[in-house]
Amino acid sequence: MDNSEVFFYSAHKINNMLKRREISCVEIVKSILDRIEKVEGKINAYITVEKESMVREAREVDEYISKGGKIEDFTGIPVAIKDNICTKGILTTCASKILKNYVPVYDATVVRKLKEQRYILVGKANMDEFAMGSSNENSCFGPVKNPWDLTRVPGGSSGGPAACVASGEAICALGSDTGGSIRQPAALCGIVGFKPTYGRVSRYGLVAFASSLDQIGPLTRDVEDCAALLNVICGYDESDSTSIPAEVPDFKSFLKEGISSMRVGVPKELMVSGIDAEVREEVEKAILSLEELGAYVEEVSLPHLEYALDVYYIIAPSEASSNLSRFDGVRYGYRNKDAKTLREMYRKTRSEGFGDEVKRRIMLGTYSLSAGYYDAYYEKAQRVRTLIINDFRNAFEKYDVLVSPTSPTPAFRIGEKIDDPLTMYLSDICTIPVNLAGLPAISIPIGLSRKGLPIGFQIIGDILREDNVLRVAYSLEKAISFNKKPDLGFLEVL
């Protein structure tokens, strides 16, 4: 059997091969490491690669299997972890100078759960600094390149994890999603990305950006891997006060072809005039496919969604201003050594430690929370957020899922929007409402633009209704059969 492209296999395919003894974990890891050596210098998807521990752990897994050990879904599977998710004894930098040398003394809950299945940590993936960005250009370790076109962005803030999976530098990955940071890069890199219901996955060990919006989720090759990874990471955690004490179903049991009689709403506010013509064309084709599969599809209005971007850029920076106040140079992280006074040390440390986008959002949030402006901005934004939640609640009384583009455009060129924050913020216009309402949503690839760039399709479900999202995503994935990958030769010879 030709295993020359193991790095592009799905986790469930590798899992079956391990069970049939058709491949060893050492061979899987060697394939990933060889791939990293060939393409990582061009893509810059990783901040840290755990080469030595990968090989050591692979040997341990092979020995465990040879002795009759149980092979779980992610036993021996190489996974990349976004660098804002804590890993004990391994650098966790949030792609920021202020945490460049920070080594956690504990594992995030999601990492602990993967360790229980004997997964293989490939490394910590690059990202927008503190998860603030839509292009992965805001990293002190340099921008990540899109594997489909190295002149273009991979999306953000989970651009590194998405690029790892798309380029074959990991079988799957974990990212975080605050306003679309899993789904938008998944769309731009031609893979699957899932944001679970807020509280489905423990945030313990995730470095906080906006606590009422952040959620960890999977980036995978297909919907089946996505469901399997959700099975591992979901569940109540007493270490996270926002964790939902709800029973965790077997997400793989929802992967059934056939969506006849399901009701699908298309929010007209998410099919806005700024949607790229090619994106609109592919999304309309996907909607037609849903109808051909037997779903009832209808346009719907969620009138307050037009305010979602404004609401998000008050609430998220406000929470960031509070959360990032802990990075002051006193207890850990970067500290300016030349300051003469404590106040000067704070000012210089934070000025030098944070990048431009992080400082921009801290200032926005601090202003929104300041005396005299709190009621006018933050409190009013929370009131409008409630109206958005109610719009979704009303829609889900009639529809099983809602659908839209994931990103309004395919991947744009590096540097194209970096000097225009408002234009950059519009990249998340279709994904932000989902975070404000705490809903589950997935992005799956549905086609390529004329320039060969991936286009993503978003499927949104009601609170704790990942079952509907996965069922529609799986059926559409099978109907469309998107199986394109970045050009291997192109990446290896550049």
- If pLDDT is split at 50, 70 and 90, which confidence band does 38 have? very high
Helix axes 308-323, 356-369, angle to 10 degrees: 100
Strand pairing class (296-300; 216-220) = unpaired
Show the domains of the chain with their CATH numbers: 6-303+390-493 (3.90.1300.10)
Task: Please say whether the beta carbons of 402 and 394 come within 8 A.
Answer: no
Mean pLDDT of 158-176: 98
Average predicted confidence (pLDDT) for the chain = 95
The answer to whether residue 50 scores a pLDDT higher than 70 is: yes
Q: Is the pLDDT of residue 414 over 80?
A: yes
Rounded CA separation 267/252 (Å): 28
DSSP 8-class letter at 413: B
- Judge contact between 12 and 224, C-beta under 8 A: yes
Q: Catalytic residue among 31, 82, 407, 443, which? A: 82
DSSP for 291-352, please give it.
HHTT-EEEEE--GGGGGHHHHHHHHHHHHHHHHGGG-SSSSSS---SS-SSHHHHHHHHHHH
pTM of the model: 0.96
Q: What is the pLDDT of residue 487?
A: 80
Which entry of 96, 134, 135, 181 is annotated as an active-site residue? 181
Q: Is 96 a catalytic residue?
A: no
Residues constituting the chain: 494
Interval 187-203: pLDDT, tens: 999 999 999 999 999 99
Alpha carbon distance, N-terminus to C-terminus of the chain: 29
- CA dihedral 349→352→355→360, nearest 10 degrees, is 70
Segment 115-131 mean pLDDT: 98
Q: Based on the residue annotation, tell me whether 157 is a catalytic residue of this protein.
A: yes
Select which of 24, 157, 158, 368 is catalytic. 157
Place of tokens 């804002």: 84
415-461 residue pLDDT tens: 999 988 888 998 999 999 999 999 999 999 999 999 999 999 999 99
Residue-level pLDDT at 493: 55
